[in-house]
Structure 1
Amino acid sequence: MTDALKRPTKTSRKRVRLAPQERQSLILDHTAEIVARDGVSTLSMDSISRQAGISKSLVYNYFPNVTDLLRQLLQREWRRLRRLQAEAAEKAETFEGLVRAVTHVYLKYIDERGLLIERLQAEPSVSAIHDPTEFGRDSAVDYLADIVADHFGLPTDIAKAATDISFGLPAAAGAYLLQRKMSRKELEDLTVTMILGTLNELKRDYTTRRQPIRRRRPQF
């Protein structure tokens, strides 16, 4: 019998070897799919291993339990969001452009990933941080406060307080967006207007209070 007539043998599927970091990332990706589709209650190491197409023991090699896995997934979501916001801020050419870019990125991310994030944060064992702006907040506030102080001519402490307080506005807009009570574009415009309006009013108030009193010499 010639080679051409030989019955082909069944070839086994080749196993793909991945770097540990890449494998860990893929496990998190598959977990995110389950949570977004079915919620957290149905999640188990078995369901994750089936979704990822790997053994349960391999999942345990990277994560000791489901809670740890979900915590790392939530932290990855916030790290990605902060990175995207930082990149958008670096590209902005005006202060209004910076506020709009950072707000746009935040609301877009919440629009696309908000259901996943909301379900993760609803689990007390997963997240001790119930305000998404808390993740990486200090460094972000310091960075933006320097810009606010320079742009509006405000003292550093006032600029930092105003920036820190304003940080909560996009988070509030994101929560509103998830309720689908207003379009993303309308919420973006509203949030940007509120932030800029507050800072401009603060500058005007601070400048007015510091102006010297102009006295006229009394007429006798």
Structure 2
Amino acid sequence: MASATTPAAAGAETITLSRRAIYDLVWANPMSSAAAELGLSGNGLAKICDRLLIPYPTRGYWAKVYAGRDQPQLPLPDAPPGTATEVAIAPARAPSRRPRSRLSRQERERQILAEAERVVRTEGVHAMSLKRIARDIGISEAQIYNYYSSATDLLVAMTRAELTEMNKARLAASRHCTDPQMRYTLTTLAYLRQVAIRGELLQQLLGVPEVRVALRHEHEERRHANRTVLGEVFEETYGVPPRISTMVGALSTAMSLRAGRLLARGKIDLALAERLVMPLIGASNALMIERHGTKGSS
């Protein structure tokens, strides 16, 4: 089996990965995140992919995915003769023996968001202020204003982060499924399961009028993109007119959102939410294809 090697740093632990393993990694996470897991830079991991002829997402891919616009995943081609099929990877730098005294901007932002989430979950939105968060994590009030201009700005960032994680889970659940009906089922299940985890926090955050207003445009864009993709997929696969699939999709989404709200408020549990929503969605899609499809179910 042909292999390639990246330069190893002194004392660094080398790992060997196949082309398939690297391919799965770069299509599951943004390049920078995937590279960080391996102790590499994003540019370094991209060079490895180029050398092993591994396709990877282009610039802007993940922004579209996180906005709800599902994007095609390029298949992994067979390795041409003479091309390495695995690579030995070592981090570019050995871990420092000296403790770090300062956090990077990204690390500080994560710290602020995590502490704000803790406060909101345990004490409610009203207890969260920039002064409180700064005190809790041991920085000055002036420093936290370098990251967020107001408490509302921080609440919007928290909400956007939670919604992004929900959307990532929804898309990950269906990424390798090619059947549109099954993909719809998997994404709905993923949504409900994410609501069980994040719904209570999101209910509090979206209960703030300023947060809803700030995110309204993004929400409308995501909803429009999802409806467009749904219409194209059902038309291409089953011959269902987009106006029909859009209408049925809107009804199905309304059912899912209603169940999600009840779940987030503790009125029903996850098992009941799934039993209520999934049969209705499955039946509505099947009926739509039977009555309006021209290509038949695959």
TM-score between both structures, scaled by the size of structure 2: 0.58
What letter corresponds to residue 166 of structure 2 in structure 1? L
Structure 1 unpaired stretches of 5+: 1-13, 209-220
| Higher deviation after alignment, 196-205 or 40-49 | 196-205
Deviation for aligned residue 1:203: 2.7
- Would you say the 8 A contact 1:173–1:187 is kept in 2? yes
Is 1:173 aligned to 2:246, yes or no?
no
Aligned counterparts of 1:86 and 1:140: Cα–Cα separation in 2: 11
- Going from structure 1 to structure 2, the CA distance change for 1:48 and 1:171 (only over 3 Å counts) comes to same
Give CA-to-partner distance per residue, 1:107-141, whole Å, 9 cap, x none: 121111111111111111222268x9757222222
Is 1:127 aligned to 2:212, yes or no?
yes
Select 1:62's aligned residue among 147, 164, 169.
147
Aligned counterparts of 1:133 and 1:202: Cα–Cα separation in 2: 26
Select 2:163's aligned residue among 74, 78, 97.
78
| Higher deviation after alignment, 184-193 or 27-36 | 184-193
For the aligned residue pairs, the C-alpha RMSD in angstroms reads 2.5
Is 1:186 aligned to 2:272, yes or no?
yes
- Going from structure 1 to structure 2, the CA distance change for 1:178 and 1:148 (only over 3 Å counts) comes to same
Deviation for aligned residue 1:151: 3.7
Give CA-to-partner distance per residue, 1:182-205, whole Å, 9 cap, x none: 331231232121112112222333
- Would you say the 8 A contact 1:99–1:192 is kept in 2? no
Moved over 4 A (4+): 132-135
Is 1:103 aligned to 2:172, yes or no?
no
- Would you say the 8 A contact 2:238–2:293 is kept in 1? no
Is 1:50 aligned to 2:135, yes or no?
yes
Structure 2 unpaired stretches of 5+: 1-98
What letter corresponds to residue 145 of structure 2 in structure 1? Y
Number of residue equivalences: 194
What letter corresponds to residue 109 of structure 2 in structure 1? Q
What letter corresponds to residue 258 of structure 2 in structure 1? A
The structure where helix makes up a greater share of residues is 1
- Would you say the 8 A contact 2:181–2:285 is kept in 1? no
Select 2:120's aligned residue among 32, 35, 43.
35
- Going from structure 1 to structure 2, the CA distance change for 1:38 and 1:104 (only over 3 Å counts) comes to same
- Going from structure 1 to structure 2, the CA distance change for 1:29 and 1:135 (only over 3 Å counts) comes to farther
| Higher deviation after alignment, 133-142 or 96-105 | 133-142
| Larger CA Rg, structure 1 vs 2 | 1
TM-score between both structures, scaled by the size of structure 1: 0.77
